[in-house]
Structure 1
Amino acid sequence: MPQTEIPIPNPPPLPSALPDSLLDLAVKIERKPLPDDVRDSLKSFQRAACYIAAAMIFLRDNVTLSSPLESKHVKPRLLGHWGTCPGLILIASHLNLLLRNNPSLNLVHVIGPGHGAPAALATLWLEGSLQKFYPGEYDLSSDGLRNLITRFSVPGGFPSHINAETPGAIHEGGELGYALAVSFGAVMDNPDLVVACVVGDGEAETGPTATAWHAIKYIDPAESGAVIPILHVNGFKISERTIFGCMDDKEITALFSGYGYQVRIVEGLEHIDDDLQASMEWALAEIRKIQKAAREGKPIVKPRWPMIVMRTPKGWTGPKEVDGKLIEGSFHSHQVPLPKAGTSDNQLEALDEWLSSYKINDLIQDGKPTERVVRILPKEDERKLGQLKTTYDPYVPLKTVDWKEFTVDKGSENSCMQITGKLLDAVFQANPKTIRLFSPDELESNKLSAILDHTTRNFQWDQYSRANGGRVIETLSEHDCQGFMQGYTLTGRTAIFPSYESFLGIIHTMMVQYSKFVKIAKDVKWRGNLASINYIETSTWARQEHNGFSHQNPSFIGAVLNLKAEAARVYLPPDANCFLSTVSHCLSSKNYVNLIIGSKQPTPVYLSPEEAAAHCRDGASVWKFASSTETPDVVLVGIGVEVTFETIACAALLRTICPSLKVRVVNVTDLMILLPESRHPHALSKEKFRDLFTEDKPVLFNYHGYPTELQGILFGRENVSRMSVAGYKEEGSTTTPFDMMLRNGVSRFDLAERALKAVAESHRESLDGKGLEEYLDQVKRRVEEVREFIAKEGKDPDDIYDMPKFE
C-alpha cells in the first residue's frame, strides 16, 4: 500500500480522555514581547545558522550562492540530518541571549539529537568558537565558512554526528538516549553550572531517557547545579510518528508533573521567540529560587524543577513539498530532504529556492556575520556555548590516599570489597567534592558498605538521605549510573561504578560510545585530560551460585577488550592487597576505561603489601610458594580470584599424586600484558613472556572469563599451540560454589587432568613412570567423592576452600 502522507504542519494530537483541568498543571507566564532589535537579531542568527546547516549537507562549492546554483555545486554524497536542525538552532539562539542577559550564568548546552551536528557547528561558527579552537581552518572569514560547509561529512572534515571535535560538547552524538543522564552527572558538585539539555522526542522513547527524568531526585540544590530539560517535540523519527508527538498538552503535562517537574509548554510559531525566551528566563529564575533556599539553610522539600516542552515542525523552514511528497512537518525531512539534488533538475531547483529563502548575503558579509546576527551573543568569549572551560579542560586530580594503610596480613582471609570500601572511605574524605560513586542498589550486597562510614547516600526524595552531601548515589538503572558517571567525569571529576558482574552488560554500548568520545578527545589538541572511568565488577559468576544462571555472566570483559588498546584496561587482582593497589592506581589514571574484577567473599591473601605492589606493577609473576624450583614441566596460570585459588589447589594436588612433576604457578592480574607487543602498551616483551611462561612447555590458563576472549588475546604470541584455556562456558544453576567450578571445567581437578594429559603428550617420563590413566583415575575418584558429598549434603565439603599446604 502507498505511504499515507501526513499534512503539514504536524496535526494536533488526538484528544485524550484526561480532564481539561490537568492543563492547570502547566506553567503559565506572562509573555512579554521582546524588543524589536533583539527579535531581529534572534531571527537573523536563526536564518544564518539554518542556511549554513543546510548548505553543509548539500554544497561542495558556491557556498554563499554568489552565482546560479548548478548540479556541480552539490556534493556527490549527501550526508547529514536536517529535520532536527531548525529546532536546535532556535534553542541555541535563545541560550545565547540567556547568557548575554545573565552575566553570572555558566551554561553548557547538551544536544541529545546529536545527529543534528550541522546545527551545532553552524551556531559555533557564528559565535567564533570554531575559530578559537581551529584557527586558520574555520575562521570567521570567507575561507573559514567555505571550509565548514564543503568539508562537512567528507573525509577530513567534521562528522555527521556531534563528537569530541565539537567545541562545547560533553556528549557523544551517537548516544541516543543518554543526554539527560549525562547532563545531570555534569551538574553534580558543580553548584554554579546550568546545563540546558535538549531531548528529542524520538530519543525520549528510549529506556535510558525514561529513567533519567527521575534524576532531579538526586540533585541537592545546595551543592550542585541544575539541568533545564528541553523536550523538543517535532513529531517524527526516521519514518514514524513519535510517542510524544502523539500526546496532547494534557498528557505531557500530567506525565512530567507526576515526575516532579514544573512544565512549561512552548508552541505556536507566531510568537515562539517571545515565548521561548520568557520560558528560559522563568526556568532560570525557578532554579535560582530553589538553590537560594537550599543554600540559605531553608531547602524546599521535593522542589519542582522547571522543564520546557517545545513544539516545532520537523524540518521547519525547509522545503514544503517536493515530487509530490510533503517534506516540512513530516518524516521526509529527517535526514536529507532532497536526496537527488545533484541529479534531479526539480530537486536542484527546490534546493536553490530553499537556500535562497534565507538571504544569506544579508547576514554574512566578507565572510563574517553581521552585527545584527551576533548582537544576541554574550560579550565574553569564555562564556559562549562552545568555550566554557568546564567542557574541554576541566580535570581536577584527586588528593591521593596511601593504599598501604589499608592492607591486610599475608596468609589471612579477607574480602577484596570490604577492604577496598575502607580505602574508598578515606578517598571520599580527602576529596569531598570531586569523587562520587554510582551504584545500582548493590553497595551493601557487594560488601562496599565501609564507604558509608563517613558519608551517606544522596537521594533527595528520601527524608533520611537528603541534603547531607552524600557521595553515593544508588539507583536501579544502570543506564543512569553510567550516564551520571560520564557527565561527572567529562566535567573534570572522578567516578566509580561498582556492579554485579552479570548486569554491567546493560551499559555495554554506552561504555563503547563514551570510549569513542575519549578516543577522539585525545586526538584533539585543545581538549585536556580526563579521569578514567572505573568499573568495579564483583558478585562474580563463580560466587553467584545462590542466585542461579541468570546472575552468571562475565561478558563485560569482552566489551572492554574490544576497545582500542590505548583505552582498555582489564585487571583481575587475585587478593585484597592487590585489589587495593589496583584501585588506587585506577583512581589516579587518566583517559582509560578501567575494569577491575574481584570477589566480595573472603579469600586468601597471598601477597604482602610490598609483594602486591610489585606484582601489580609487573602485571604478572611466578608464585614461588606454589611452584617447583626447577625448570617446570607445565605452567599453570590463574587469572581471576576464584580460578586462581583452584590453580593453587591444583598445584598442591599434583604435588601429592605425582611428586616428580615440576609445576610452575603464575598469576596474571593485568590481562593486557598477555597481548602481543604490537597490540598494547602494557604487553610483555617476548623475553619477559618467555621468562614467565617458558619457551616450549605446556601452559594451561584457568581464566575467569570466556575462553575465546583469552584465546584472542594470546593469538600472535610465539608457539601458542602449547597453550590451552579453560574458563566460564555458560554452565550454571542454583548450586554450590565448588559445583560451579566443576560445571565450567575450571576446578582443581579439571586443571590437574589437563596438566597430566599435556605433560604425558610432551614428555611422559615426568609422570614417575606410571601410566597416565592411573593418575587420571586418582583425580576422577576425588571428583566423584566431592560430587557425592555435594549431592548428599547440599553444600561443599568443609575443607574444600582451606588454603593448600606446600611443604
Structure 2
Amino acid sequence: MASFPDDVSARHHLLWRALTYLAAAQLYLRGNVTADRPLQAGDLTASPAGHWGTVPPVAWALAGLAVQDLPVRPVIGAGHAGIVQRGYAWMTGDLGELRPRYARTRTGLEALCADFPHCDGLGAEVHPELPAGSYVGGQLGGALAFAQAAAAADDGTVVVPIIGDGEAETGETAAAWLADPVIRPRAEHAPMLPVLNLNGLRMGSASLLGTRAAREVDAYLAGTGWRTRWAHVRTASLDEARQFGHVLAQALEAVRTGERLVLVLDMPKGLTGPGAGTPACHKTPLPDPATDPRQLDELRRWLGDYQPQRLFTTAGAPRRDLVDALPRWPPNPPPQPPASPRPVQSEPVTWSRAAEDVLRAHAERGLRVFSPDELASNRLGGLTGEQWVTEVLNEPLLAAWLLGHCATGNPGVVITYEAFAPLMHTALIQHAKTLRLTAEGHRWPSVNVVVTSLGWRNCYTHGDPSLITTALGLADPAIRVYTPADPRRATAQLDRMLADHGQINLLVVDKHGPVQGPADSIDAELDHGWATWHEPENPPQVVLVSIGDLAATQLTTTLAQLDVPARHVHVHEPAVLGDPGRWPQAIPHQQWARVFPPELPMLVVTTGQPAALWPLLGPRGHRRLDIRGWHEPPAPLPDSELLRWSGMDIPSLTADVHRAARTAREAM
C-alpha cells in the first residue's frame, strides 16, 4: 500500500477526536465543557438523553471526507447522528450563524451542551440548515436512494451516503442497490460513494448484514452490481486513520471514473466509549454519572482520552489546526426560477394527452418523473422510455428519489396508483418537517405526487384513499391537496404544481376522464380553490358540495334530476373548507356564511374518505352537515355497487337531498 500523507491523516484524526468529544459533551455536560479541570457532578446534566452508538463511525467517515481534496456532499443516513452534525457546525461557525447563542466560544459551547437535545428549537437530529443536512431522514432506509437521485442531478460533486446496519436491512435500501443503474445510467451518472458501516448491531440486537462474513457481504453486494472495498477500524488510532484515508482516496477516485463501489467501514458500534460493541452503547452508555461515583470516574476517563485541551483554546474555541481541517460542505443548489403556468385549455381535453404535454414541457427545466411500473396503466404510456422518466415498482424508493432530486433544485413528481400512494406517506411527512425547520424551504422545488387509478374503478385490494386523509390531518399549510373535477382542471393544476416552490402537492385525478365541468369557473377554482357551479332560480333549500372528479360527476348527474332548488359548489382544494385561523387558503368566515348559510343543510360528496373532511368542517360549526365518500367495502363489489355501498349512487344522493330539504323546512 502506498503511503498516505501524514498531515492529512493527522487532520482526520484530530477532527474525529473533536467530533466525538463534542458529541459526548452534548450528552453529558452542562459546564466545564472543555474539561479544563476534573469533572464534578455539578458539571453534568441530570438526565442524559441522546444517541452515542452511531457517533464514532459517522464522525470517522465525515472527518475522513472533510480532509479529502475533493468536493463531496455527505448524506447522513442516521438521523441520530445529528449530534455529530451539531458539533461540526459549532466548529465551522455555521451553528452560531443560525443561532447566535451557540457562537464558537466557551459560552456558546456551554449553551449548546446545556440545551441539548432541544437546542433552541433545532432539535437533536440532522437539521437541513446545517452542514451535511441535505437529507434529514427520520425513518430508516432512504439515504441511499436519496443520494442516488441527488447524484444523478448533480454537477460532479461526489455524493456520499453514510448507511448503518439497521438501514442496510430495509427493503428500501435493498431495492436501491439493485435500482442504481435505473436512476444513474452508467453513461451519464454523477459519482456516488456509499459508505456502509457494518458494526454488527442495530439498536438492540445483531443486524443481518453485520453478522455475515466479509465474503458473504461481498457476494451480496456483487450480486446487486457493486464492488466493495473494506476499511477496518478497531482502535481509532492515527495509523488506522492513515489506512482509512488511503482506502477512501482510492474509492473516491474509482467512483469518479464510473465504478459502482461501496466502501465498507468495519467499525464497532460506539467505539472508544463505554460498552463499545454492545447494545448498551446505543443511547447513553453511562445512564447516571451525576449520582454514581463509579460512572463519573468512567466518564472522566472516557472524555479525557480525547485530550480536549489539545482541541480547544483557553477561551473555549477550536484551535486553529482544528478549524483548518473543517471545509464547509457545499450548500444545496439553488432552484430553477419559477416557470409561468401555461394558459388553461379552452376546450375539454383528455388526461393522457394533456398531462403528457405538461410533463414534457417541464422536462426541459430538469423535471424527472418517477413511477411504479404503471405509467401505461395510468394512461401516460407515451412517456415510457424517456430519459427523464424512471419506473421501479417500489413507492418508498420512488419517494426517496423524488426528495433527492428536488434537493438539487430541480422539479420532480411521482405518479402512482391511489392504492399504493400511502406507502410514501412517511417520507412526505418527513419532508414536511424539513420544510418547517428551514427558512429556505420556500425556495426548494415543490415535491409533487399525482394519485390516479382510483379505488372506485379498481379491484378490491386497490382501494385506499388514505394518503389524502393523512395529509389533510397534518393541518400543515405547506401540504396542498387538489381534487380537480375533470382532466382540463387536473392538467392545469399539474402545470402549476411543477412550477411552484416550497410545498408538498398531492393531485387526485381519475384517469378515466369523467364529465367535464363548466368552463367559466376554472380560473376561480385554480386561484381560490372552489367555485359555485350552479345557483338555482329560487332560493336554495340545500347546498351540495363536490370534492373530486367522481364526486363532481355524481352530484352533477343528481342535480339534473332534482326538483329541489340546490346550490352546487365544487371544491378544488379541500383545505378551503377549513378554519381560516389554521388554513391560509380557507374561505373567510363572512363569505362562508353567504355560500353555506347555517340554516341550510349541507351535503358534501367526496371521492376520498369522509374522515379527511370532518376535521376541516367541524370547526365551522355547521349544524346540518352530512358527508358521503369512500366507505370501505366488506368484499369485492362492482363499481355501481361500491357507489351504492358508500351512499354515492344517484338514487341515494337524490334521497339524501330530499330528506335534508324536508328536515330544513320542518325546522322553520
Secondary structure at 2:448's aligned position in 1?
strand
Deviation, 1:409, is 2.4
Counting only pairs closer than 5 Å after superposition, residues 380-529 of structure 1 correspond to structure 2 as 384-385=328-329, 388-390=330-332, 394-400=334-340, 402-404=342-344, 407=345, 409-410=347-348, 414-428=349-363, 430-431=364-365, 434-451=366-383, 456-457=385-386, 470-522=387-439, 529=443
Rounded Cα–Cα distance in structure 2 between residues aligned with 1:630 and 1:245 = 74
Task: Give the aligned residue type for 1:124.
Answer: A
1:399/1:759 CA distance change after superposition, 3 Å: closer
Deviation, 1:757, is 1.1
- Of 179, 184, 200 in structure 2, the residue corresponding to residue 219 of structure 1 is 184
- Of 622, 627, 648 in structure 1, the residue corresponding to residue 532 of structure 2 is 622
Determine the structure 2 residue equivalent to 1:187. Answer: 151
Aligned residues: 663
Deviation, 1:165, is 4.2
Secondary structure at 1:479's aligned position in 2?
helix
1:398/1:442 CA distance change after superposition, 3 Å: farther
Secondary structure at 2:619's aligned position in 1?
coil
Deviation, 1:223, is 4.2
1:636/1:528 CA distance change after superposition, 3 Å: closer
TM-superposition CA deviations, 1:332-368 (whole Å, max 9, x none) = 1110000011111111111111111111011211333
Percentage of pairs with the same residue = 28
TM-superposition CA deviations, 1:620-645 (whole Å, max 9, x none) = 12213xx4222111122111111211
Secondary structure at 2:419's aligned position in 1?
helix
> Which has more radius of gyration?
1
- Of 627, 633, 644 in structure 1, the residue corresponding to residue 541 of structure 2 is 633
Determine the structure 2 residue equivalent to 1:722. Answer: 624
Rounded Cα–Cα distance in structure 1 between residues aligned with 2:292 and 2:137 = 31
TM-superposition CA deviations, 1:595-623 (whole Å, max 9, x none) = 11011003222232x53122222211221
Structure 2 stretches lacking a partner, 5+ long:
none
Determine the structure 1 residue equivalent to 2:38. Answer: 68
TM-superposition CA deviations, 1:363-396 (whole Å, max 9, x none) = 2113332344344444xxxxx22xx122xx6222
Counting only pairs closer than 5 Å after superposition, residues 639-654 of structure 1 correspond to structure 2 as 639-654=547-562
TM-superposition CA deviations, 1:55-87 (whole Å, max 9, x none) = 110001111112221112111221111111111
Q: Say whether 1:373 aligns with 2:322.
A: yes
TM-superposition CA deviations, 1:117-156 (whole Å, max 9, x none) = 222222233344334544x433332223223322221462
Task: Give the aligned residue type for 1:631.
Answer: P
Rounded Cα–Cα distance in structure 1 between residues aligned with 2:299 and 2:137 = 27
Determine the structure 2 residue equivalent to 1:15. Answer: none
Rounded Cα–Cα distance in structure 2 between residues aligned with 1:662 and 1:674 = 22
Q: Say whether 1:738 aligns with 2:646.
A: no
Rounded Cα–Cα distance in structure 2 between residues aligned with 1:765 and 1:44 = 80
Rounded Cα–Cα distance in structure 2 between residues aligned with 1:75 and 1:652 = 71
Q: Say whether 1:278 aligns with 2:246.
A: yes
Secondary structure at 2:301's aligned position in 1?
helix
Rounded Cα–Cα distance in structure 2 between residues aligned with 1:485 and 1:723 = 39
Deviation, 1:417, is 4.4
Rounded Cα–Cα distance in structure 1 between residues aligned with 2:233 and 2:80 = 25
Which is worse superposed, 108-117 or 579-588? 579-588
Q: Say whether 1:758 aligns with 2:660.
A: yes
TM-superposition CA deviations, 1:377-420 (whole Å, max 9, x none) = 44xxxxx22xx122xx622235445143xx2625xxx5434422
Determine the structure 2 residue equivalent to 1:170. Answer: 134
Counting only pairs closer than 5 Å after superposition, residues 502-581 of structure 1 correspond to structure 2 as 502-522=419-439, 529-544=443-458, 548-581=459-492
Which is worse superposed, 268-277 or 588-597? 268-277
Determine the structure 1 residue equivalent to 2:2. Answer: 32
Determine the structure 1 residue equivalent to 2:501. Answer: 590
Determine the structure 1 residue equivalent to 2:25. Answer: 55
Rounded Cα–Cα distance in structure 1 between residues aligned with 2:395 and 2:441 = 28
1:704/1:400 CA distance change after superposition, 3 Å: same
Deviation, 1:240, is 0.5
Rounded Cα–Cα distance in structure 2 between residues aligned with 1:521 and 1:554 = 30
Q: Say whether 1:690 aligns with 2:593.
A: yes
Q: Say whether 1:150 aligns with 2:114.
A: yes
Rounded Cα–Cα distance in structure 2 between residues aligned with 1:377 and 1:507 = 36
TM-superposition CA deviations, 1:721-767 (whole Å, max 9, x none) = 2110011110165543322211221111111111111112221699x
TM-score by length of 1: 0.79
RMSD of the TM alignment (CA)? 2.1
* CA contact 1:163–1:173 (8 Å) conserved in 2: no
Counting only pairs closer than 5 Å after superposition, residues 280-429 of structure 1 correspond to structure 2 as 280-290=248-258, 304-319=259-274, 327-365=275-313, 366-378=315-327, 384-385=328-329, 388-390=330-332, 394-400=334-340, 402-404=342-344, 407=345, 409-410=347-348, 414-428=349-363
Secondary structure at 1:239's aligned position in 2?
coil
Task: Give the aligned residue type for 1:614.
Answer: A
Q: Say whether 1:613 aligns with 2:515.
A: no
Secondary structure at 1:226's aligned position in 2?
coil
Rounded Cα–Cα distance in structure 1 between residues aligned with 2:29 and 2:233 = 32
TM-score by length of 2: 0.95
Determine the structure 2 residue equivalent to 1:705. Answer: 608
Rounded Cα–Cα distance in structure 2 between residues aligned with 1:66 and 1:553 = 60
Deviation, 1:695, is 3.6
Task: Give the aligned residue type for 2:140.
Answer: L
Rounded Cα–Cα distance in structure 2 between residues aligned with 1:96 and 1:551 = 48
Rounded Cα–Cα distance in structure 2 between residues aligned with 1:46 and 1:761 = 74
Deviation, 1:88, is 1.0
Secondary structure at 1:638's aligned position in 2?
strand
